[in-house]
Each structure stands twice: as structure tokens, then as C-alpha cells.
Amino acid sequence: MVSKEEVEELMLKYFPKCPLCGASEGYEVSGVVKNYVQCRACGAKWWSNDFVKCKELKQLKLWEPAYDGTGAALKFKTFSVKFWQDKEAIEKAIADAEAKTKAVDSNKLIFRSEMSDEEIQDSIRKSMVEIASWDWGSTLYGQLGPLISDTSFAEATIIRLLRAIFEQNKILIMQNELIRRALTQNK
Ligand SMILES: [Zn+2]
């Protein structure tokens, strides 16, 4: 098995300076087969299968971002050595990944700060209509449900119930936002 010194030496050969923070303080080697290296300065940690043989380093997977969060957007992503040696490429990849997460996140939000009160009220109405359609219990089928011992039927009932609860929570969150807005306006 390779020694920790050999692994650190290989890493230093390709990366005398840390790909993320640029410090040249060397790397802490860890793992049962010594396939993790961690920058002594910023704490960023990489994993590579190439350390097992310790001959040539081809790619590195970012296992943990730096202590200050640098590189978090690239966590668990594997890139070539060439990429990790290219500071501009790394910065671009981080910016791209961050932009992507941001876009997804704001689409998933129940409400966004730029929404007007009317838009939120409209959303609340939509959720209430949703709840009415998921309110299985009040329908004839819903009342007959417990009499029919059918698994898929029971599953469908649970899904409807969960959907209704989810919509209910959305309404509460949106109503809270409207109340918060009203309160802060009065100040
Ligand atoms: Zn570092």
C-alpha cells in the first residue's frame, strides 16, 4: 500500500498550490486506502481513485468544500486534473453551478419577496381550490374507501391526504407573509 507521504507528494506534483485557496501548505492524507487529500490551509478535501496506485493523477472529486464554503457548488463533482489546475475554469464552474441552483430554488419557493400581496392572495386561492379537489374524504368514493380493502386505493387516499396537507401548509406560509407585510407596513 502507498504511504501518506507518497500520496501527498503526488498531489503536490500536480498541485503545488491548493486549487481552491492557492495556499502551498500541503495536504493531509486520509482514508483507509489513503485516497483523500485535504488542503492544510482551507480544509478543502478531494477524493481520487488514482491515489490508490499513486502513479499518475488524472481526476479529482471535490469531497468537501473549504471551511469558508468556497467550492460548495462543486461538492461531489469530479473534474480532470487539467480543470483543477485552471483557476479561471474553476471560478466559472462555481459561478455556473451557483446560478443554476439559484434559478431552481426561486422556482420552488412558495412565494417570492417580489410578489405583490394580490399575487400571494391569488396563490392562496389556488391552493384552496387544490385542497377542495384533494379532499377525498368528503366524496362518495372517499367514504366508501375504508370498506374496500385495496392497497392501491389506500395509497391513493394517503397521497391525496398528503397533497391536501401540503397545500394547507402553503396557505399558512403565504398568509403569514401577508400578516408580516401588514405588520411591517404599520410601523
Ligand atoms: Zn486550500
Ramachandran angles phi, psi of 39, nearest 5°: -65, 130
Does position 16 have pLDDT exceeding 80, yes or no?
yes
How many alpha carbons lie under 13 Å from residue 56 in its C-beta half-sphere? 3
Residues near 112 by beta carbon (within 8 Å), at least 6 away in sequence: 106
Q: Ion ligand 1 — residues with CB under 5 Å?
A: 18, 20-21, 39, 41-42, 44
Rg (alpha carbons) of the chain, rounded to whole number: 26
Calculate the CA dihedral of residues 100, 39, 63, 82 and round it to 10 degrees.
70
If phi > 0 it is left, if psi is from -120 to 50 it is alpha, else beta; for residue 34 that is: left
Q: What is the pLDDT of residue 135?
A: 65
| Percent of the chain whose pLDDT exceeds 70 | 88
Does position 6 have pLDDT exceeding 90, yes or no?
yes
Mean pLDDT of the region 133-142 = 63
Higher pLDDT, 129 or 15: 15
Mean pLDDT of the region 118-122 = 92
Does position 40 have pLDDT exceeding 90, yes or no?
yes
Provide the grid cell at 58.
Answer: 488524472
Residue 27 Cα to ligand 1 midpoint, Å, equals: 9
